[in-house]
Chains A and B, each alone.
Chain A
Amino acid sequence: MMTSTATIGRVLKAPVAVVRSSPKLAGGLIVLALLVLTALSSPLVSRAIGHGADPVAVAAYERWLVPSPAHPLGTDQLGRDVLSMIIGSMSTSLQIGAIAGVISTAIGVVVAFLAGYLGGWIDAVLSTFTGILLVIPTFPLLIALSAYAKEVTLFQVGLMLSIFSWPFAAKIIRSQVLSLRTRPYVELAKVSKAGAMEVIVTELLPNLAPFIGVGFASAALGAIFGLVGLEVIGLGPSGVIDLGHIIYSAISTGALTLGAWPMFVVPIALLTLLFAALNMVNIGLEEVYNPRLRSER
């Protein structure tokens, strides 16, 4: 009982100290939090702009209105308010990233432990398979999967994307398992007759937490990336409206030539912020645990 409470304490205390020590990590997390808050404010924005009516209903307003106080980002080809649309779709993008990130990280952790801890031919097979998925161009396969998936829920889309994003997480976590399993304290735990599960839970997982974080961020990044890619060429799963979909409709309806710049500049800016934030989290975590990489020495 004592040990488990102590373990939980360690798992909880470590992240706070880590965030304090790295401005990059803190900055990334703050931007992420702001983006999540913006996405959560979607109903409020809809109410403020629509005054009770649905601002993203077809023909709610005139088509192609230029930005004005009533419609800060103008309206699109069907007379929908662009700001409400963008904030709503950002929430979709973030949810997809979170779902796919969690699934990928879970698969990644299991694969990494099987491969890294057991070693031998299991490691050879799993690592070769992970390697194949990381090296080959997987986007065509994702397009195929997307064509197969009709009328899907957000969860299913997340599941679909994690098929291609788990190797990112698995690769990062496996290399850490490999380096941790020969550390003296792990050897000590093994010698003192701790079971494999006990060693994994009490000794390895707390020390792996940051790398599981990096794995999550990479996988979420990969998944959002993939979905935006599918949507931008109009081959995304039907019924999912994420930021990529807005960019696609901006391109396909000629918003670029019509000068309706907010319709593609704002989604791109938001996604760029999101990618930058996730990458800052990644690099921040890596720097904390690999101090050789820090710029100030």
Chain B
Amino acid sequence: MTSVVTTRADDKSEPNPTPTVRAVGVRSVLARHPLAAYAVRRFGLYLIEMWGALTIAFFFFRLIPGDPIQTFIQTLQQNYVYNVQASAEVIARYQHEFGLDGNIFVQYLHHMKKLIIDHDFGPSLINYPTPAQNVIMQSLPWTIGLLGISAVIAWIVGLGAGALAGWRRGKAGAEVATNLAIMLGHVPFYFVALILVYVFAYSLGWLPSRSAYDSNIPPAFSPQFIGSVLQHGILPAASIVIIGVFNWLLSTRMLMIPVLGEDYLLYAEAKGLRPGDILTRYALRNCYLPQVTAFGLSLGFIFNGNVLVEQLFNYPGLGSTLVTAIQQLDFNTILAVTDMAIISVLTINLILDLLLPFLDPRVKYWG
């Protein structure tokens, strides 16, 4: 059994190693290449997590009451003034089309097969016959742009602020920032979004409160369009960044403080290094790694809040698509959005964990 020991302060969240079945020959090869063994083990965990999460998602959404096919046929009848009762054949045909025939386990196997082999989520109900994956591909860039950029900015700023707050602990500024973070770190960011909308969009009228760009400007790589996108993105992004910075500040400070008592910092100080260098090159470098893992772990949570922010700003991202799809019982799109979010979050976590050994020479392996 190979195992990996990181010198992280907080190793609690890490699930225990999941044993993977390997042949004896493979085992000896892996024993000689601990890095490869770590990668294989982490990838095995990734596959298990992926399967578990996608399965949980599938069965959860089948709980939603209502008959999507009836809803679909009613919509068709309204749109085309088609007054004839839908025959059993028509219903069966559509059930097959949407992957809703057979019992729930048949549907589950069908869904997993389509997903894994064909990368196909089936047709969207509201936008029939457009495949659900095409529907979400239109909204995905908006969410990646909004959530991805603001999450990264919040992480970087929060890390810096937290390092500083730990470094200058006891000083007034650092203590005010820390206490503010304790107060506000757990406030949902759509609260901040609401307040920002009220102040900057309704009261002052400085910034737009809805949509992702001005619909009068044709979408293109023109300065006007990009400017409009940025202008519309400021408020939703600010809400994610503000709360994110507070959260990262608090956790970075907690990681920083034990490091600040280490002897090598005293030595660096005695050598006469500048405080700024000691902070960034000695102290922060030794405590930012758990935050890389924590960044990955926080993404799912950020996505949850992002659903609300997008809904509030009528932002055309995955969150708005999800809420619309749920209201319309569009099963395939609901599952497509959720599965996409799950796949992205788990994959980013995998990548970050695989990067860790390259970021930190202290990560040790033994056979």
**Interface window among B86-94, B126-134, B333-341:** B333-341
Told that A233-B307, A256-B202, A261-B198 touch, could you supply 8 new A-B pairs with CB distance under 8 A?
A128-B18, A134-B297, A148-B64, A232-B311, A265-B198, A280-B183, A283-B250, A295-B170
Quick one: which of A144-171 are within 8 Å of B by CB? 144-145, 147-148, 150, 171
Quick one: which of B284-318 are within 8 Å of A by CB? 296-297, 300-301, 303-305, 307-308, 311-312
Is B39's CB within 8 Å of the partner chain A? no
Complex Cα–Cα for A247 and B191 (A)? 10
The residues of A that contact B307 with a CB separation of less than 8 Å are: 139-140, 229, 233
Complex Cα–Cα for A225 and B243 (A)? 14
Q: Are the C-beta atoms of A276 and B15 separated by less than 8 Å? A: no
Is A38's CB within 8 Å of the partner chain B? no
The residues of B that contact A275 with a CB separation of less than 8 Å are: 186-188
Q: Are the C-beta atoms of A139 and B303 separated by less than 8 Å? A: yes
Q: Are the C-beta atoms of A293 and B349 separated by less than 8 Å? A: no
Question: Out of A131, A140, A229, A268, which one reaches B338, CB within 8 Å?
Answer: A140
Interface Cβ pair total, 8 Å cutoff: 167
Min CB distance B233 to A, Å, is 20
Q: Are the C-beta atoms of A124 and B169 separated by less than 8 Å? A: no
Interface SS of chain A: helix
Is A7's CB within 8 Å of the partner chain B? no
Tell whether A235 pairs with B304 under 8 Å between CB atoms, given A131-B15, A171-B13: no
Q: Are the C-beta atoms of A127 and B195 separated by less than 8 Å? A: no
Complex Cα–Cα for A175 and B195 (A)? 38
Q: Are the C-beta atoms of A136 and B300 separated by less than 8 Å? A: yes
The residues of B that contact A132 with a CB separation of less than 8 Å are: 49, 52-53, 56
Q: Which residue of A lies closest to B45 (CB)?
A: A128
Q: Please, what's the 1-or-0 string for A240-261, where 1 marks a CB less than 8 Å from any CB in chain B?
A: 0000000100010000110001
The count of chain A contact residues (Cβ–Cβ below 8 Å) is 57
Tell whether A141 pairs with B57 under 8 Å between CB atoms, given A228-B188, A272-B187, A275-B186: yes
Q: Which residue of A lies closest to B250 (CB)?
A: A283
Q: Please, what's the 1-or-0 string for A276-297, where 1 marks a CB less than 8 Å from any CB in chain B?
A: 1011100100000000110110
Tell whether A128 pairs with B49 under 8 Å between CB atoms, given A135-B349, A140-B338, A295-B178: yes
The residues of A that contact B349 with a CB separation of less than 8 Å are: 135
Q: Which residue of B lies closest to A258 (CB)?
A: B202
The residues of A that contact B312 with a CB separation of less than 8 Å are: 232, 251
Min CB distance B150 to A, Å, is 16
The range of chain B's interface size is 35 or more
Q: Please, what's the 1-or-0 string for B325-344, where 1 marks a CB less than 8 Å from any CB in chain A?
A: 01100000010011001100
Q: Are the C-beta atoms of B186 and A136 separated by less than 8 Å? A: no
Of residues B16, B296, B345, which shows the largest number of chain A Cβ atoms within 10 Å of its Cβ? B16
Q: Are the C-beta atoms of A128 and B48 separated by less than 8 Å? A: yes
The residues of A that contact B187 with a CB separation of less than 8 Å are: 271-272, 275-276
The residues of B that contact A276 with a CB separation of less than 8 Å are: 182-184, 186-187
Q: Are the C-beta atoms of A233 and B338 separated by less than 8 Å? A: no
Complex Cα–Cα for A296 and B337 (A)? 47
Q: Which residue of B lies closest to A273 (CB)?
A: B183
Complex Cα–Cα for A220 and B312 (A)? 25
Q: Which residue of B lies closest to A269 (CB)?
A: B191
Of residues A137, A175, A235, which shows the largest number of chain B Cβ atoms within 10 Å of its Cβ? A137
Q: Are the C-beta atoms of B322 and A127 separated by less than 8 Å? A: no
Min CB distance B315 to A, Å, is 13
The residues of A that contact B61 with a CB separation of less than 8 Å are: 141, 144
Is A123's CB within 8 Å of the partner chain B? yes
Min CB distance A204 to B, Å, is 17
Q: Which residue of B lies closest to A271 (CB)?
A: B191
Q: Are the C-beta atoms of B308 and A233 separated by less than 8 Å? A: yes
Q: Are the C-beta atoms of B49 and A293 separated by less than 8 Å? A: no
Is B63's CB within 8 Å of the partner chain A? yes
Q: Are the C-beta atoms of B48 and A137 separated by less than 8 Å? A: no
Is A104's CB within 8 Å of the partner chain B? no
Q: Please, what's the 1-or-0 string for B245-276, where 1 marks a CB less than 8 Å from any CB in chain A?
A: 00000100010011000000000000000000
Is B277's CB within 8 Å of the partner chain A? no
Question: Out of B60, B178, B194, B296, which one reaches A144, CB within 8 Å?
Answer: B60
The residues of B that contact A135 with a CB separation of less than 8 Å are: 49, 53, 296-297, 300, 345-346, 349
Q: Which residue of B lies closest to A139 (CB)?
A: B304
Question: Out of A136, A233, A296, which one reaches B342, CB within 8 Å?
Answer: A136
